[in-house]
Amino acid sequence: MSGVPRVEASQAERPLFFGVDVGGTGIKIGLVDNQGRSVERTRIDTWEERGPADAVTRVRRAMDELLQKVAVGWPEVAAVGLGTPGTMDIPRGLILAPPNLPHWRNFPIRDALSDACGKPVWFANDANAAAYGEYWVGSGRDHPSMIMLTLGTGVGGGIIIEGMSVDGRHSFGSECGHIIVDSRDDARLCAWGGGRGELEAYASATAVVARTKELLEAGRESSLGRRIAREELTALMVAEEANAGDPLALEIIDETARWLGIGIVTLVHTIDPGLVVLGGAMDFGGEQAPAGRRFLEGVRQEFRRRAFDVVAHSTQIEFAQLGSDAGYIGAAGIARAGWLKTAGRSPGDRLADAPGMT
Amino acid sequence: MSGVPRVEASQAERPLFFGVDVGGTGIKIGLVDNQGRSVERTRIDTWEERGPADAVTRVRRAMDELLQKVAVGWPEVAAVGLGTPGTMDIPRGLILAPPNLPHWRNFPIRDALSDACGKPVWFANDANAAAYGEYWVGSGRDHPSMIMLTLGTGVGGGIIIEGMSVDGRHSFGSECGHIIVDSRDDARLCAWGGGRGELEAYASATAVVARTKELLEAGRESSLGRRIAREELTALMVAEEANAGDPLALEIIDETARWLGIGIVTLVHTIDPGLVVLGGAMDFGGEQAPAGRRFLEGVRQEFRRRAFDVVAHSTQIEFAQLGSDAGYIGAAGIARAGWLKTAGRSPGDRLADAPGMT
């Protein structure tokens, strides 16, 4: 969280905004100031099976505790931003059928949270919210447009063009994990949705684990073979063994980078954003680790090898800066942009418009 | 040109706009009214090797003749829209290095045309201009967002999101012909740019001809084999033989549709536009021909088979309506949107913003 801009409550620029980032196991809630700095944050369990109404009540309680902790009153909070995993109906404020929230189907979460807080709520896809956070105060803060890929269990996507998030007509815009990178009949299947040959099946932690297991089961020699006798295989473990020089782990990283590079060529030839940001936990250790740096360099090489000259060397590909804070910061930023537009006020910076584009 | 809205000069809503659509062999110039109706149009040769300054002079002369023909004066023309093939630098108004305009490199065409006409000129990629034309008064006129693929010698792309064209940071946005649909090492190469496995190498007229020749040379039986003894093979010829029931021609159409469907899945999962429009001459005869209808149905089937449920059946895939007039009409529309914004005037319709997004 070293890259997250922070500020004391007393120094925070008013108004403040809450950002809420809902995941399958946890909900992050953060108070963010008018410049995108994190004042305070907390995390509660999702307790998915208790249903969304219960979670909304607990989110409100957590917000009260958080405000009390930093001695801020609700009148200083202008609006709330809410990010949830898709599928969803953003204009109507509905969760539809997210695979990791099976008991939350067709729930009007935007209005429920608004009623609970007494504040207007802006609603976004979780990956688009994370992209907006990086755009506002992270890796993208000097760029008018960017694409973010969130590499985790799956691959999330967020596209920001001149401050506006590409939400799509059916709230299915920016689903960059589901672009097709492998059109062969025997291409890998996505865990979510079951699509064949989609980026998520090649560049997620799930994919890394599956591919590594395949090679180990095929009899390939690796230090990972000894470890999985005792522990469950993870992408982090692949990174660790790659750092120690294990050839199989290095091969997996190179292969994953190659697929991701192919996907990024397609996305850049479609959007030409100037910047592509790689976020999420599946970063092989990121900038700090040899494996992470090798991964990033591999992505860049495959991209440059295949992309058109005019974008090959002028498009930056970087790791994200906000870590898992990107989601709530971005949700708060989306709320801020929407609130400013509704209030008919100019934000005094480049974030002039409400961020949702359908 | 049956789908092109037309109006008599006396009935045309003022102000008027010129649209100019520059191609490798011809330049189309059209006078368009404030509602997107074509008042009059003409075509001049590009005469590429004479260079761009000569062409600009002749465009101005053609505009004068066109205005004279319909008894309209220059004061009734508010602005000019100009579409050219990429690569280009839209913010600076430069043609960079289009493969079909080798003598026009690095030419400041926007300002040259503005000087020649004494009018402000808005500059766009030709495929984006065509998409904007379809968006304004063609297949997309009831949609806030759309993607258009122009199938011809190559595959051009245009993406419109809420009235704004995705131009990109390096004027390389919406280059949908260059998304990767085949990541195999031996995938087909693009004629332009030399990229491997890009949509253009599978869904252009060039690709159809190349693939048909491959199969004929491999000894496949076909009525096309007899025809190419006398004539040069074209995509139109493949459509004709498909209409007559030739199995090889039908197979080529199905294969082309399948690749295009794969590409459209990727584009829709990225943008979720609600509408995808197929334009350009490489339509196997379009709605009027059995081959064209089979092609469109094949594209839709592959798309529905692979796309996420939430977009699979709610996304329309249709042929374009404006034919080769889309380019100048769209260029005029882009000029109109930009002119209205510059003038600080509300257009009184959904096209409120200047269309370029970088």
Q: How far is CA B126 from CA A83, A199, B86, in A?
A: 37, 30, 8
CB neighbourhood size of B186 (10 A): 8
Residue spans of the domains in chain B: they are 16-134+323-357, 144-319
CA distance B313 to B64: 48
Distance CA B256, CA B204 (A): 9
Phi, psi of A340 (to 5 degrees): -60, -40
Residue of B nearest to A311 (CA): B170
Cα angle: B324, vertex B328, B330; to 5 degrees: 100
Q: Do B269 and A175 count as a contact with CB atoms less than 8 A apart?
A: yes
Determine the pLDDT at residue B141.
96
Pairwise CA distance, residues A59 & B271, whole Å:
32
| Pairwise CA distance, residues B336 & B340, whole Å | 6
Chain A CA closest to residue B266:
A179
Q: Omega into B256 within 30° of 0, i.e. cis? A: no
- Chain B environment of A194 (Cβ under 8 Å): none
Superfamily of domain A9-134+328-357: ATPase, nucleotide binding domain (3.30.420.40)
Q: What is the rounded CA–CA span in Å between residue B126 and residue B105? A: 16
Average pLDDT of every residue of chain A:
95
| Nearest in space to B86 (alpha carbons), one of B1, B200, B219, B241 | B200
**Best of B90, B192, B308, B309 to disrupt the A interface by mutation (most A CBs within 10 Å)?**
B308
pTM score, two decimals?
0.95
C-alpha distances (whole Å) from B32 to each of A187, B14, B298, B323 are 48, 9, 35, 16
* Distance, CA of B239 to CA of B282 (rounded, Å): 9
Contact residues on chain A for B184, CB-CB shorter than 8 A? 184
Residue of A164, A174, A271 to mutate when probing chain B, most B C-beta within 10 A: A271
pLDDT of residue A358: 56
Does the distance separating the beta carbons of A273 and B270 come in below 8 Å?
no
Neighbours of B102 (CB within 10 A): 11
Q: A349, exposed or middle or buried, with CB in 10 Å at 0-12, 13-18, 19+?
A: exposed
Question: What are the helix and strand counts (H, E) for chain A?
Answer: 11, 13
Question: CB-CB: which of A271, A306, A315 is closest to B166?
Answer: A271
CA nearest to A236, candidates A205, A258, A207? A205
0.90 surpassed by complex ipTM? yes
Contact: A183, B182; criterion CB under 8 Å: yes
How many residues belong to chain B? Answer: 358
CATH 2.140.10.10 fits A142-319, yes or no: no
What does each of the 358 residues of chain B score in pLDDT, given as a tens digit? Answer: 468 999 999 999 999 999 999 999 999 999 999 999 999 999 999 999 999 999 999 999 999 999 999 999 999 999 999 999 999 999 999 999 999 999 999 999 999 999 999 999 999 999 999 999 999 999 999 999 999 999 999 999 999 999 999 999 999 999 999 999 999 999 999 877 779 999 999 999 999 999 999 999 999 999 999 999 899 999 999 999 999 999 999 999 999 999 999 999 999 999 999 999 999 999 999 999 999 999 999 999 999 999 999 999 999 999 999 999 999 999 999 999 999 998 876 544 444 444 566 5
Q: Average pLDDT for residues A96-117, to the nearest whole number?
A: 97
**What residue in A sits closest to B180 (Cα-Cα)?**
A266
> Which residues on B lie below 8 Å from A145 (Cβ)?
168-169, 357-358
Compute φ and ψ for B44, nearest 5 degrees.
-125, 160
Nearest residue to A129 (alpha-carbon basis) of A17, A264, A296, A47: A17
Looking at chain B, which residue has its C-alpha nearest residue A87? B310
CA distance A28 to chain B (A): 26
Separation CA B345–CA A119 (nearest Å): 34
Q: If you measure CA to CA, which chain B residue comes closest to A174?
A: B270
Which residue among B169, B198, B274 places its CB closest to the CB of A274? B169
Please state which CATH class domain B144-319 belongs to. alpha beta
pLDDT at B8: 97
What number of other Cβ atoms are within 10 A of residue B251's Cβ? Answer: 16
Mapped onto helix, strand or coil, the DSSP state of residue A204 is coil
Specify the pLDDT at position B1. Answer: 45
Look at B162 and A196 and tell me if their CB atoms are within 8 Å: no
What token pair was written down for B21?
């659509």
**CB contact (8 A) between residue A173 and residue B272:** yes
The alpha-helical segments, DSSP class H, found in B218-283 are 223-227, 235-243, 247-271
Please state the CATH superfamily assignment of the domain spanning residues B16-134+323-357 in this structure.
ATPase, nucleotide binding domain (3.30.420.40)
Chain B's closest residue to A192, CA to CA, is B308
Best to test chain A binding among B94, B148, B165, B170 (most A CBs inside 10 Å): B170
pLDDT band for position A77 (50/70/90)?
very high
Mind telling me how many Å the CA of B21 is from chain A's nearest CA?
22
Residue closest to A296 by CA, chosen among A272, A264, A273, A322: A264
The full DSSP string for A51-105 is -HHHHHHHHHHHHHHHHHHTT--GGGEEEEEEEEPSSEETTTTEE---TT-GGGT
Give the best residue of A270, A306, A314, A357 to mutate against chain B (max B CB count within 10 A). A270
Calculate how close chain B gets to A169, using CA atoms only, in Å: 6
Topology match between the domains A9-134+328-357 and A142-319: yes
What percentage of chain A has pLDDT greater than the value 70?
A: 96
Angle at A199 between CA A193 and CA A203, to 5 degrees: 110
B145 contacts A169? CB cut-off 8 A = yes
Nearest to B168 among A96, A168, A272 (CB): A272
Which residues of B are less than 8 Å from A174 in CB distance? Answer: 270, 272
Local structure of residue A307 (DSSP, 8 states)? S
Residues B357, A161: C-beta atoms closer than 8 Å: yes
DSSP letters, B43-109, are EEE--GGG-HHHHHHHHHHHHHHHHHHTT--GGGEEEEEEEEPSSEETTTTEE---TT-GGGTTB-H
- Nearest partner of A269 among B5, B324, B172, judged by Cα: B172
* 8 A C-beta contact, residue A59 and residue A29: yes
The set of residues, in sequence order, having a beta carbon less than 8 Å from that of A325 and lying 6+ positions away, is A1, A4, A28, A30, A38, A41, A133
CA dihedral A52→A56→A61→A63, nearest 10 degrees, is: 130
pLDDT at B345: 65
Q: In terms of CA atoms, which chain A residue is nearest residue B356?
A: A162
Chain A residues whose CB is inside 8 A of the B306 CB are 180, 195-196
- Asked if A193's CB is within 8 angstroms of B144's CB, the reply is no
Q: How far does B77 lie from chain A, in Å, by closest CA?
A: 31
State the pLDDT confidence band at A343, using cuts at 50, 70 and 90.
Answer: confident
CA distance B79 to chain A (A): 25
Q: pLDDT digit string (tens) for A220-262?
A: 999 999 999 899 999 999 999 999 999 999 999 999 999 999 9
pLDDT in tens, A155-214: 999 999 999 999 999 999 999 999 999 999 999 998 777 799 999 999 999 999 999 999
Which of A282, A330, A355 minimizes the C-alpha distance to A133?
A330
Q: Which two tokens stand for residue A43?
A: 């995390």
